[in-house]
Structure 1
Amino acid sequence: MPSSLLLSYYGDDLTGSTDVMEALSLGGIATVLFLDPPSAEQLACFADCQAIGLAGTSRSETPEWMDDHLHHALAWLRSLGADLCHYKVCSTFDSAPGVGNIGRALEIGRALFGQSCVPLVVGAPQLKRYTVFGQHFAMFQGDVHRLDRHPVMSRHPVTPMGEADLRRHLAGQTELSIGLADLLCLAQPDIDERIDRLSAGHQVLLYDVLDTRHQAEVGHQLWRTRQPRGSYVVGSSGVEYALLEAWRRQQRVPATVPSFTPPGAVDQLAVVSGSCSEVTARQIRWAEANGFRAIGLDVAGLIGDEHGEGVMQAVLEAAGDALADGMSVIVHTAMGPETNASAVTQGDPQARHRIGRSLGQLLRRLVEIHGLRRVAIAGGDTSSHALRELNIHALTTRLPLPETPGSPLCRAYSDDPTFDGLEIALKGGQIGSDAYFVNLRNGRA
């Protein structure tokens, strides 16, 4: 176990987990992300890391699932002895009482760490996410939208965001009292005393973040108020961006930004997508016009058949034919929010999980048969369940992608030589330009 561990974290989905890994790696913090608690031998391979993550699936799970699984995951992370343990949520805070309940995660971690008040940080200017007087905003195609009016997140098929006030939204998930350190508070000369009073009066403290100045102050407060034997914090990768500034001031991180070698182009890229986002649909259409073959997976047939073997075999053969023809391939379950995948899986988490696992099994077979060395998975929930089918136990950052901050190209670690060293990108549904998949194949950031 690393002797100077600054941070441990649990990502509530795969793309959220790689988001944190990228932010830390760009800041010069050596970071590894495990898919499950590792063996002693696997952990020893990353003894130089200052941050260790555990990729989870809680964003797509019920509170009952969290009661059974999340406590154990956080307990393992706490045992590592890091200064801070971060429960990572999506920077658009999409959650609901019955699915991805952030309030329940706050309760579980607060009790485990014996903490009176848990900090909550969601704003991340680097990702174009802003929290102002408790209201949350996110950019989409160049325009900043209040979260309840966001063209994508307000229409999310599982956790539509109908409330931009994060405290009001969270109040529907927990009875914990929630305070606010707003922009005016963060600008006061007696900020330390004000934060101490707010923390003493509330069980959760939400911080505003509009720009990097506020972010730096928030990082100072997170580090200043940590408990001697480790503290629990909840939020987006805005937590890491804030802490990095505090660590730089204390010379705990390198002064210079690390460099990453471009990976170059590959002849073929295989993508599986469970995203219902219109952004991903546009990316698929663009890829079709630029050397990819797009293949739809019949979601109703996959779920309706007890095993879905016929549906899976047909798609595997079609994808194999495309690769044999020298093309790249995208297997997708939806082309935007209005396709039937959303209706078929609505309110049925097991159906969504099955789709993710099936896409992962398909991708595994394509890698095994065709010797692919670069692949991609689109959709946050999909990534969480699909990647676990690839016999991979850890990821590190191969190359940050400035076009899609939070979704880097990763290097996979596996005991199976087929998957060890595989380059894999995990993309949230609403992330990236139309040319994303084409640029990924061509090795362009």
Structure 2
Amino acid sequence: MLIGAIADDITGATDLCLTLAREGLRTVQIMGLPGPLGLPDADAIVIALKSRSVPAAEAVEMSVAAANLLRAGGAEQLLFKYCSTFDSTNAGNIGPVTEALLALTGSDLTIACPSFPAAGRTTYRGHLFVGDALLSDSPLKDHPLNPMHDANLVRVLARQTALPVGLVTIDTITNGEAAVRQAFAVQHAAGKRILIVDTLQDADLRTIGAACSDMMLVTGGSGIALGLAANFVRAGRVASHPERARMAAPTGRAVVLAGSCSVATRGQIAAAQAADLPTQALDLDALLSGQQSAASLADWAIIQPQDSVSVIYSSADPAGLQTIHARLGQHASGALVEATLAEVARLLQAAGFSRYLIAGGETAGAVVAALGVTTLEIGPEIAPGVPWTRSISGPDLVLALKSGNFGSDDFFLKAWTLLETEAADV
């Protein structure tokens, strides 16, 4: 194993797997801490945790356990992967987990590089941008679990950790690997232990990754994997693996389960409705009153035309979301949505559904657990950060696990064109 990664949510793990696979590494995604059978043989293994929004102490415990397993499996470099929008509150979890992993590896310097230019996430002078807007001016300011009100990542991270936080600006990055390594040394000598790094384009990620070739622990979004994987490719440590254009899928019906309230997901739902896909809203008040249930939602999807893609969604706009949270509580309402969509997925699986598109990291975590999926192989890219995947343990399913903020408006429409029905045995 060349790279062992710990991802703080399911969709982020899949995003990272796609980047590693596209760069030529044989990559496997494992849901949660693996059982007694241990780790599969692969160039890169990504352990997907559900630790982004849990208490910091719990996130640290899970992340350290995952890191120990990866190191025992021979990982040469560890990557702690979090969201490209740095989703975390002042109480954690990026800072505390980074501290713990530095201590575990005996390292005294790492970077924090959330940037993902292909998805519009860039960092300039330490400030994170989403497209042309500062993070604090973007829709992420209304995130239901981790609202981001400060775009200055040095300040954000400094509120989460006692370790000194430094910055390497784009002026240095564009001067190449040697300049970046020198900047790392200068910052380290000045007592800094975690360095925010500016990134405006993929070439910057490759430069940064090259400068991190000797770093035992790297932290960031999936973009930094471009440079980390390239180090092993240049060294001749990786065999060639052609990129996949399509993925074989088991025979079965298709469904979209959307728990994200992001602007991107709401646009995708609207596009699905405009294209006359059958859509059904999950209504929290109706659930609580007994007028709606996971069983009734599943029954609705089952009676739709066999060749259609049904869309079941709970995605509210910011105003509606605030009303729901005020009435039901933020965590209680979120937990109800996740549990309901997970049960819908399980019921549909029993009814012959085998193709799932899940929108939202928390929703994805609940759904894959309900479906009994534990290990995934990575297929073709649907959109930046989102591939099709297929289960290689447990039930035979294909899944697209989409971060709420990813994908264009037609994502729910075009994703299925990359699947081909697997030929039946004769």
Instruction: Please state whether the residue corresponding to 1:322 is helix, strand or coil.
Output: coil
395, 416, 419: which is aligned to 1:441? Answer: 416
Q: Assess, with a 3 A threshold, how the Cα gap between structure 1 residues 294 and 347 changes in structure 2: closer, same or farther.
A: same
Q: Distance between the aligned counterparts of 2:250 and 2:347, measured in 1? A: 22
Q: Assess, with a 3 A threshold, how the Cα gap between structure 1 residues 25 and 256 changes in structure 2: closer, same or farther.
A: closer
216, 219, 238: which is aligned to 2:209? Answer: 219
**1:22-421 matches, cutoff 5 A:** 22-39=18-35, 41=37, 43=39, 46-47=40-41, 49-98=42-91, 101-139=93-131, 144-150=132-138, 152-186=139-173, 187=175, 190-200=179-189, 201-224=191-214, 226=215, 231-254=216-239, 258-263=243-248, 268-302=253-287, 304=288, 311-323=293-305, 326-340=307-321, 343-344=324-325, 348-349=330-331, 351-369=333-351, 371-401=352-382, 404-415=383-394, 419-420=395-396
Instruction: Please state whether the residue corresponding to 2:162 is helix, strand or coil.
Output: coil
Contact 1:137 1:147 in 2 (8 A): yes
Instruction: Please state whether the residue corresponding to 2:400 is helix, strand or coil.
Output: strand
Q: Distance between the aligned counterparts of 2:403 and 2:137, measured in 1? A: 19
Q: Return the TM-score normalized by structure 2.
A: 0.89
Q: Distance between the aligned counterparts of 2:75 and 2:50, measured in 1? A: 22
Q: Assess, with a 3 A threshold, how the Cα gap between structure 1 residues 353 and 109 changes in structure 2: closer, same or farther.
A: farther
Shift of 1:267: 8.0
Q: Which amino acid aligns with 1:213?
A: A
Q: Assess, with a 3 A threshold, how the Cα gap between structure 1 residues 341 and 288 changes in structure 2: closer, same or farther.
A: farther
Shift of 1:440: 1.9
Spell out, residue by residue over 1:204-259, the C-alpha distance to the aligned partner (whole angstroms, 9 max, x if none).
122221223322221111113x2xxxx22211012201213333332333568534
Instruction: Please state whether the residue corresponding to 1:136 is helix, strand or coil.
Output: strand
Shift of 1:281: 1.8
Q: Which amino acid aligns with 2:32?
A: D
Contact 1:276 1:341 in 2 (8 A): no
Q: Which amino acid aligns with 1:436?
A: F
Shift of 1:118: 2.1
Q: Distance between the aligned counterparts of 2:113 and 2:366, measured in 1? A: 26
Contact 1:60 1:381 in 2 (8 A): no
Shift of 1:191: 4.2
Contact 1:264 1:442 in 2 (8 A): no
Shift of 1:153: 1.4
Q: Assess, with a 3 A threshold, how the Cα gap between structure 1 residues 190 and 279 changes in structure 2: closer, same or farther.
A: closer
Spell out, residue by residue over 1:305-360, the C-alpha distance to the aligned partner (whole angstroms, 9 max, x if none).
7xx79622222222222256x53211111243333487338864354234223212
Q: Runs of 5+ in structure 2 lacking a partner?
A: 421-426
Contact 2:17 2:378 in 1 (8 A): yes
Q: Distance between the aligned counterparts of 2:312 and 2:340, measured in 1? A: 11
Q: Assess, with a 3 A threshold, how the Cα gap between structure 1 residues 342 and 435 changes in structure 2: closer, same or farther.
A: farther
Spell out, residue by residue over 1:343-387, the C-alpha distance to the aligned partner (whole angstroms, 9 max, x if none).
338864354234223212211211211x12311111122112221
Shift of 1:157: 2.2
Runs (4 or more) in structure 1 with deviation over 6 Å come to: 264-267
Q: Distance between the aligned counterparts of 2:257 and 2:203, measured in 1? A: 39
Spell out, residue by residue over 1:274-329, the C-alpha distance to the aligned partner (whole angstroms, 9 max, x if none).
11123212211221233421111122454x47xx79622222222222256x5321
Q: Which amino acid aligns with 2:153?
A: L
Instruction: Please state whether the residue corresponding to 1:164 is helix, strand or coil.
Output: coil
Q: Assess, with a 3 A threshold, how the Cα gap between structure 1 residues 292 and 153 changes in structure 2: closer, same or farther.
A: same
Q: Distance between the aligned counterparts of 1:213 and 1:319, measured in 2? A: 45
Shift of 1:262: 5.0
Q: Assess, with a 3 A threshold, how the Cα gap between structure 1 residues 80 and 309 changes in structure 2: closer, same or farther.
A: farther
Q: Which moved more, 1:332-341 or 1:100-109?
A: 332-341
- Aligned-residue CA RMSD in angstroms? 2.7
Q: Return the TM-score normalized by structure 1.
A: 0.85
Q: Assess, with a 3 A threshold, how the Cα gap between structure 1 residues 14 and 254 changes in structure 2: closer, same or farther.
A: same
What residue in structure 2 maps to residue 426 of structure 1?
Answer: 401
Shift of 1:178: 0.4
Shift of 1:27: 0.9
Percent of paired sites with the same residue: 28
Q: Runs of 5+ in structure 1 lacking a partner?
A: none
Q: Assess, with a 3 A threshold, how the Cα gap between structure 1 residues 255 and 31 changes in structure 2: closer, same or farther.
A: closer
Q: Distance between the aligned counterparts of 1:336 and 1:413, measured in 2? A: 36
The number of residues matched between the two structures is 416
Contact 2:361 2:403 in 1 (8 A): yes
